[in-house]
Homo-oligomer: A and B are copies of this chain.
Amino acid sequence: MLEIIGYIAGTLTTIAFVPQVLQIYKTKSAKDVSLAMFLLFTLGVFMWLAYGIMTRSFPVVAANGVTLLLSLVILYFKIKYRNANS
């Protein structure tokens, strides 16, 4: 039961970034998305991934590996569409 809640929580906080990626991709606009937020968040997720690798925790590695990828895509979009919207 506890494990299931943890897995659902991890899945939700990971897949949450998919609609944000899709929205920026479609609108080509990321003006309202905070660059500082995604810089701090990406760095934090990278450290969670390192933590997961060091503690050999597969769920932590899987969730943060996917989140890191999505977060990097948003960061790339944010920088790419920065001039177009500032």
The interface of chain A, by Cβ under 8 A from chain B, is: 2, 5-6, 8-20, 22-24, 27, 29-34, 36-41, 43-45, 47-48, 50-51, 54-55, 85
Q: Is the interface of A mostly helix, strand, loop or mixed?
A: helix
Cβ contacts under 8 Å, A13 to chain B = 40-41, 44-45, 48
Cβ contacts under 8 Å, A9 to chain B = 44-45, 47-48, 50-51
| CB nearest neighbor in B for A70 | B37
Task: Identify which of B16, B20, B22, B40 contacts A44 (C-beta below 8 A).
Answer: B16
Contacts A8-B44, A20-B33, A23-B36 known; 7 new A-B pairs at CB < 8 A:
A2-B55, A9-B50, A12-B41, A17-B41, A20-B34, A20-B37, A31-B32
